[in-house]
Structure 1
Amino acid sequence: MRIYITILMLGCMFLAFPQQQKTYFDSQIALHLKAYKTKSEIAMQNGDKEQAKFLFDSLFENHLKFSHIRDFSLNKVKGGTLKTSSIDKPFLLITKSSWEQIKKEEVDEINRMSKMYKGQIEIIILFWDSKDKAKQHSKNYNSNVTVTYIDERDNNANHIIKPFKHSFGAPACFFFSEEKQLLKIDKKFTISNADNRSDVAFNVIHENIKWMLFSDEPTNSGIITTLQ
């Protein structure tokens, strides 16, 4: 009798305190991106950069932050596929287009970061282009960086991964925890044309990555943890 009462009480507890349902990045993008883009375009047309930033921050904080990604596969330029479900540590997903000019300083900094945090984070470069063009760019990255590609002309691009391009374009950088939750977005992940001085350009990407890794503490360094 006591066993039945215990089971009943546990059942009531689960009903009273239901588990929080997961939200997914692609679903949140489908629900909220259109309204964000409409308002953002108006703000940019009015030259109101502060409002545009406010709109992006609101979109991220209210709808995208801590959303999960569904499992998907990426083609590796060296052959085979990378399944996100197989990644057991935090990872950066950096989207690129082969027609953009990728600065040497950026590549050097990504390579340096991949060595500095080897075993703590995975760095994945995703080119939205053909395998041949992605492979050509991949020669610039060291073995710690996984270079992948999606050729949308094949019409086989997974609908789950497409929002990463069609939401904020490329280049962009998404930082996920080991629990596959989105923690940061840098939607302009590049060295701008204004950063011509070598001493400035050398530090820009490193600071951007550290900002993403260390929760807005760009001077921090050491062990990376994203567990809440």
Structure 2
Amino acid sequence: MKILYITMLSFILNFTANCQENKNSFNYVVKANIKKYNLESNLAFENKDSEKGQILFDSLVSNHLIGTTFEDYTLKGFDKKKIKLSSFKKPLFILTYASWCIPSKGEIPALNKLAQKYAKDVQFVMLFWDKKHSVKKIARKFSHNITVCYANESYKNDANIVANLKHTLGFPTSYFLDQNLKVVNIKRGGAQPDKKSTYVKAYTMNYNAFREGLGSLLIDKNITKEQLTTN
């Protein structure tokens, strides 16, 4: 009877710990808040109020998602067949995209430059919501410092990551995670320069937009503000 009691107590404690851990997971928290966010965001979109839409997104991130923990997803990469997020052993910058979305002017060069500059401190990952053959052409445009991966509903074992990331916050979306996969920040993709912007202006806008997010990861690396703002 004593052995049974100890076994049951151990089970209860483990179950309670798992419940608490799950409540702090990104998946749990985003699902708990996404319905209300979508209702308000869709209304802002219908009213063509992009400023309100951004405020709603920033509020969801700052009030609920920062501090949650990502699942240790297994991604499909071109160089390696399977890559677990935890295998990178350093902070992560994950940008979700799709091949049918045309990157803004200067966006890929800006990412390549940042990846070259901060590769020792941050792992850059481009995650496309595509099948492998659809990503091959655009994947060649990214620096070797950026790990290009892909996931699609039709692929085995991809349903979970697609549901938790693509079908919640959409894309392009930038996720900034520490080395323990804890969410430090989440932002939309790069900048959105207008069609009249010169290449230099568009490149600079994108560079600064992505670098701002990276700043939250680089603080723990003792990188000074002066170093961070040097191109």
Q: TM-score by structure 2 length?
A: 0.79
Structure 2 partner of 1:123: 124
Contact between 1:90 and 1:175, CA under 8 Å: does it hold in 2? yes
Distance across 1 between alignment mates of 2:71 and 2:225: 31
Aligned partners of 1:82 and 1:221: how far apart in 2?
34
Change (3 A) 1:191 1:27: same
Provide the secondary structure at the position in 1 that maps to 2:227.
Answer: coil
The separation in 2 between residues aligned to 1:195 and 1:97, in whole angstroms, is 24
- Report the Cα offset of residue 215 of structure 1: 3.9
Change (3 A) 1:146 1:65: same
Give the 3-state SS of the residue equivalent to 1:183 in structure 2: strand
**Number of residue pairs aligned between Structure 1 and Structure 2:** 204
Kept in 1: contact 2:72–2:86 (CA 8 A): yes
- Please tell me whether the aligned partners of residues 195 and 201 of structure 1 are also in contact (alpha carbons under 8 angstroms): no
Secondary structure at 1:175 match in 2: strand
Superposition pairs of residues 147-166 of structure 1, within 5 angstroms: 147-166=148-167
Provide the identity percentage.
27
Q: Deviations over 1:71-115 (max 9, x none)?
A: 110000223111012121111111111111124611111111111
Give the Cα separation in 2 of the matches to 1:211 and 1:112. Answer: 14
2:138 corresponds in structure 1 to 137
SS in 2 for 1:167: helix
Runs of 5+ unmatched residues, structure 1: 1-17, 224-228
Bigger shift: residues 88-97 or 77-86:
77-86
Pairs within 5 Å for 1:30-49: 30-49=31-50
| Equivalent AA in structure 1 for residue 90 of structure 2 | K
When residues 161 and 68 of structure 1 are mapped into structure 2, their CA distance, relative to the original with a 3 A threshold, is farther
**Aligned residue number for residue 11 of structure 1:** none
- Give the partner amino acid of 1:133: S
Separation in structure 1 between the aligned mates of residue 58 and residue 143 of structure 2, nearest angstrom: 33
CA distance in 2, matches of 1:193, 1:153: 35
What is residue 105 of structure 1 aligned with on the other side? Answer: 106
What is the 5 A alignment of 1:173-184? 173-184=174-185
Structure 2 match to 1:222: 227
Aligned to 2:190: 189
Determine the structure 2 residue equivalent to 1:84. Answer: 85
CA deviation string 1:34-69 (max 9, x = no partner): 111101222332344443333222211221011101
* The 10-residue stretch of structure 1 (122-131 or 163-172) with the greater mean CA deviation from structure 2: 163-172
What is the distance in 1 between the residues matched to 2:39 and 2:159?
A: 26
CA RMSD of aligned residues (A): 2.6
Match of 2:147 in 1: 146
* CA distance in 1 between partners of 2:130 and 2:48 (Å): 32
Per-residue deviation, 1:152: 1.7
Q: How far is 1:194 from its partner?
A: 4.3
- In structure 1, give the amino acid aligned to 2:227: G
Partner of 2:52: 51
Unaligned 5+ runs, structure 2: 1-16
- Give the distance between the partners of 2:52 and 2:98, measured in 1 at CA: 28
CA distance in structure 1 between the aligned counterparts of 2:118 and 2:146, rounded to whole angstroms: 11
Partners of 2:140 and 2:48 lie apart in 1 by 40
TM-score by length of 1: 0.80
